[in-house]
Amino acid sequence: MSKLELNKKQKRDSLLESAFALFTSKGIHKTSISDIVEKSGVAKGTFYLYFKDKYDIRNLLIARKASQLFKKADEELVKADISNIFDEVIFLVDNIINQFCEDKSLLAFISKNLSWGIFKTSIINPSDDSDIYFYNIYTRLINRENVNFVDPEIMLFMIIELVSSTCYSAILYSEPVDIEQLKPYLFDNIKSIMKRHLA
């Protein structure tokens, strides 16, 4: 990569990180492009050389941050020695929940914006961009030799939606209970969902 190319990548990354910091701290709607470029130390016009608008940068960030989340969880999973697929999924969910607990603004950002469409895109059209990591986990989980799930996509969809929507309320507002109280019920329900999809 030439020096110029590198410089460009740095500008782009700087804008992405500035936008993320602002989106999570003051919300997307209260973040202006002026805010982003000011934090990045570049000129206003420069923004438009890299991104179409605020929502363009948001979409890129969601995919990137969500993927980092999964990657981290998966790296921990590898270290842990778990053979059972049920336990593996629970482990992943638990790890991700814990990451959210440590960074609540990330949870607010992801939950409000993460849609199944983003996972779907990642599964159908796996990007070689290292940012998109989810596909790896997905394929590994469903291509087990000894376990077969009926409609694994629906199963995954159910789990993701249940986890993300319940955690939002429990972690951010402790409603109806705090996350630690919620976990036993949540994990049981995840297991039920998986059993329901066993061949």
Partner DNA sequence: TATGAATGAGGGTTCATTCAT
Partner DNA sequence: CATGAATGAACCCTCATTCAT
Footprint (CB under 7 A) of DNA, residues 14-33: 30, 32-33
List Cβ neighbours of 151 (8 Å cut-off, separation of 6 or more). Answer: 197
Determine the Cα–Cα distance for residues 100 and 105; give it in Å rounded to an integer: 8
What is the number of other CB atoms lying within 10 angstroms of the CB of residue 27?
13
- Per rule CB under 8 A, is residue 175 in the interface with its own copies? yes
Footprint (CB under 8 A) of its own copies, residues 83-102: none
Rounded to 5 degrees, φ, ψ at 130 are -65, -15
Residue 174 vs residues 10, 11, 178, 186: alpha-carbon distances, Å: 39, 39, 4, 14
The CB-of-86 to its own copies minimum distance in angstroms stands at 14
Q: Return the number of the residue (46 or 111) whose C-beta is nearest DNA.
A: 46
Q: Return the number of the residue (143 or 181) whose C-beta is nearest its own copies.
A: 181
Q: Return the number of the residue (39 or 71) whose C-beta is nearest DNA.
A: 39
- Per rule CB under 8 A, is residue 151 in the interface with its own copies? yes
The residue range among 47-55, 100-108, 153-161, 186-194 that interacts with DNA, by the rule CB under 7 A, is: 47-55
Q: Return the number of the residue (36 or 118) whose C-beta is nearest DNA.
A: 36
